[in-house]
Chain A
Amino acid sequence: MSAAIPAGLTQQSEVSADLRVECGVVIVGSGAGGATMAAELADAGVDVVVVEEGGYHPTESFTAEAGRALRTLYRDGGIGLALGNPPVLFSEGRCVGGSTVVNGGMSWRTPGRVLRRWAEEGVAAISERDMEPHFAKVESRISVAHQDPETIGKDMRLLKAGATAKNWKIIPNLRNQLHCAGTNNCTNGCPTGAKRSMLVTNVPRALSRGARVFADCRVERITRSKGTITGIEGRFVRPGGRRGPRLTVRARVVVAAGGAVQTPALLARSGLRSGSGLLGRNLTLHPNAKVIAFFDEEVTGWHGVHQAYQVREFIDDGILLTAVNLSPSLVALGLPSHGRELGQVMGEYNHMVTAGCLVEDRGSGRVRNIPGLGPQVFYQLTDQDAERVVRGIALTAELMFAAGARRILLPFDGAPEVRDPARLADLLARPVPKKSIELFTVHLMGTARMSEDPRRGVVDSFGAFHGAPGLFVADASLFPTPIGINPMETIMALVVRNAENLIEQRGRYRI
């Protein structure tokens, strides 16, 4: 990897002493929310500083090594755990570009029914008509489109064949990609730059307009003086996690965009409180569960795009189905077998399709700062959501059998493999204990929810923190409810809208 470091981007290795910086707006985080806010404000001529905890890893550095990606691009090696029954594994990106560097690249508008629900929750100017120009701008910026057909692999064709056989609605994914090559490496960082993550779109755009980005710097707190927001204080992080020099940024506006776990944690450890009592609460996370289906024919699921289709037949019930190829190491990590048996299962890696469901959850959780441990996530799956996860798994397995699978591994601890739909129905006719379900997610939302009413929301309709002028939130924390689909475009469109609102108030904030 020998790519040049972009002008305006500073890494820890370049900083040898404490730094003090002044600007109009300092943004914490460089993912879908932070980078979009930076680009929009910099476009308008605002002096912007972005502080990102993770490192700068250019496209040229991305490989197919999942271990390397987990070590460099993800928080905690990709192993976050929401405590509850059952626990939910989760992953967050931590690098310049945030989770957009490692997500699957699905880009969908917020469903109209969700926007209507948000309006009922007290969010202003959130109708489909209000949001249309913001969605359009985002889609243009990150090249949202369907895949070129030559990039669609066999696992996706099997998913489609299964859905067609069942007469279920299946649609081609809209993805943020500029002629994606179909490398199937989305979650390790796109090695071609075709996935239009923030790393290759809004971060360079913001830099080109004078924004400054500080990577490898953990923001410790938001600073205030006499109730007025004055900036942030952070520390550069040296290799091995050693504490480096301080970074102090003086700014009239602070935008927290660290995601639904880190943002409420930062606000809380900065002494900020919400009158609603909802800061860090209202966490939803779209619980996912997967099956592994084995086919007689070779599938070679790593040939072709990460996700080309979604099954939307059950979307009104809050259940979305799809297939996602995982690297052998990630497949092995989740298998119950070991030793020789593990070798036999993995010997069929090229005959596998990993498919699963996402559930629009109705339960909720919270984020708390635990002394000595930092932010900790707690989440309780409701009985109703557990039933829907089990139903989603049953539907996914049915679909895989319809596509020709000869046996299927289920994500329930101790469940035997199933070899036909009748056995599947028999198995799932009995209650599945909640604690036996293996859940995973990459969609965490809702911990600083919007509402015009300070009793019902942490921030107002445009992300301004109730009771702390000059402080804004710009990430999935804003969502009053889960959205049932991939959240990236919703985050970006909300932030474009909120940035426009902030720019209109430049005089008020003197930025």
Chain B
Amino acid sequence: MGLHRVSCHAGLVDGDRTRLGPGTRRIAARFAEVVCPPEVRAGNLRDELLGEFESMLPVLPAGVRWSVRSGLVAFDQGARLYPRARGRRFVRLADDAAQAYLRAVLTCKRGGLGAALQRIKGLVVFCYYELPEVKEQIGYRPDAYIAAVSQRRLASYGPQILAGEVALLAPGAAGPPDGTRPDTGTRPDTGRDRR
């Protein structure tokens, strides 16, 4: 009963994982090969992706976790009903047939499997684009940028920032003095009356 239910993901320490069983992991791996760009097969990207996927699972609501697992299994077994699969499971399909089957399910408006699969696909590609090598490939390098602008901030406004931090805890003060805030001459408003 929800009354005393403790959310299974509260208090999570980053690094916790929900290990997929070998069967589901195999489906997830093949699914990742089909939904992600072809580069996922290079190096050990696929295994890294699965690691990221397993670390996301424990934080999801229980119902979503269940639908991810059961959706993958249903998608795998459902391939047997797809004419081009000739009775084989998804994990046993060649690339062309696997792509065609995926497209057929994703565009299917009946039964809910298409919508569920779209969400699973979203989660898998999310994990793919979280991998450092993939971010690098598309030119997304936030760490260096963050380090540079953080340094610029301190160099440009160090004394004002320090004054603001001190004022925050000062007795009686509401917060940082006006001089520490950018362009405080502007009266905050709702922006409704100015063009």
Contacts and interface: CB of A to CB of B under 8 A. Distances in A.
Interface of B: 1-14, 16, 34-39, 52, 55-56, 58-64, 99, 102, 106, 118, 121-123, 125-130, 134-135, 138-140, 142-143, 145-146, 149-150, 152-153, 156-157, 160-161, 164-165, 168-169, 174-176, 178, 180-184, 186, 188-192, 194-195
Given A147-B182, A338-B121, A346 B192 contact: no
Contacts of B11: 12, 55, 216, 236-241, 244
Contacts of A180: 153
Contacts of A327: 129, 140
B117 to A, nearest CB: 10
Given A201-B175, A342-B35, A237 B55 contact: no
Interface string A172-205: 0010011111111100000110100000010011
Interface of A: 12, 53-55, 63-68, 70-72, 74, 76-77, 79-80, 94, 107-112, 135, 137, 139-148, 150-151, 169, 171, 174, 177-185, 191-192, 194, 201, 204-205, 208, 216, 218, 220-221, 235-244, 269, 300, 302-303, 310, 312, 315, 327-336, 338-340, 342-343, 346-347, 349-350, 369-375, 485
Contact of A140 (B106, B123, B175): B175
Contacts of A343: 36-39
A77 B125 contact: no
Closest 6 CB pairs of A and B: A343-B37, A237-B11, A241-B8, A64-B142, A141-B175, A77-B59
A150 B156 CA distance: 11
A183 B150 contact: yes
Contacts of A174: 188
A350 B58 contact: no
A129 to B, nearest CB: 14
Contact of A235 (B6, B8, B165, B195): B6
Contacts of B134: 328
Nearest to A235: B6
B139 A349 contact: yes
Contacts of B149: 151, 181-183
Contact of B35 (A94, A171, A201, A338): A338
Given A67-B52, A178-B164, A239-B13, A171 B130 contact: no
A190 to B, nearest CB: 10
A339 B99 contact: yes
B139 A350 contact: yes
B140 to A, nearest CB: 5
Contact of B10 (A65, A109, A135, A241): A241
Contacts of A241: 6-12, 58
Given A151-B149, A182-B149, A77 B189 contact: no
A392 B173 CA distance: 42
Contacts of A171: 191, 194
A194 B174 CA distance: 17
A150 B128 CA distance: 33
Given A338-B36, A347-B138, 14 more contacts: A67-B52, A68-B14, A109-B188, A140-B178, A146-B186, A179-B153, A179-B157, A237-B6, A241-B6, A338-B106, A342-B36, A346-B37, A349-B138, A369-B3
B56 A67 contact: yes
Contact of A329 (B38, B126, B195): B126
B140 A350 contact: yes
A137 B174 CA distance: 6
A192 B34 CA distance: 39
Contacts of B37: 339-340, 342-343, 346
Nearest to A347: B138
Contacts of B176: 140, 143, 178
B70 to A, nearest CB: 16
Contacts of B178: 140
A150 B180 CA distance: 17
B100 to A, nearest CB: 11
Contacts of A369: 2-3
B171 to A, nearest CB: 9
Contact of B38 (A53, A148, A340): A340
Contact of A111 (B14, B142, B165, B190): B190
Given A139-B188, A179-B153, A191 B175 contact: no
A328 B129 contact: yes
B10 A218 contact: yes
Given A208-B169, A239-B12, A240-B12, A184 B190 contact: no
B181 to A, nearest CB: 5
25 contacts: A55-B12, A71-B55, A72-B12, A76-B9, A108-B188, A112-B192, A145-B184, A146-B182, A146-B183, A169-B195, A179-B153, A181-B149, A181-B150, A185-B142, A192-B150, A239-B16, A241-B12, A330-B126, A333-B122, A334-B122, A335-B125, A339-B36, A339-B37, A349-B139, A374-B5
A339 B181 contact: no
Contacts of A74: 59
A67 B135 contact: no
B52 to A, nearest CB: 6
Contacts of B39: 343
Contacts of A146: 182-183, 186
Given A109-B188, A179-B157, A329 B10 contact: no
Contacts of B168: 141, 201, 204-205
Contact of A269 (B3, B60, B183, B192): B3
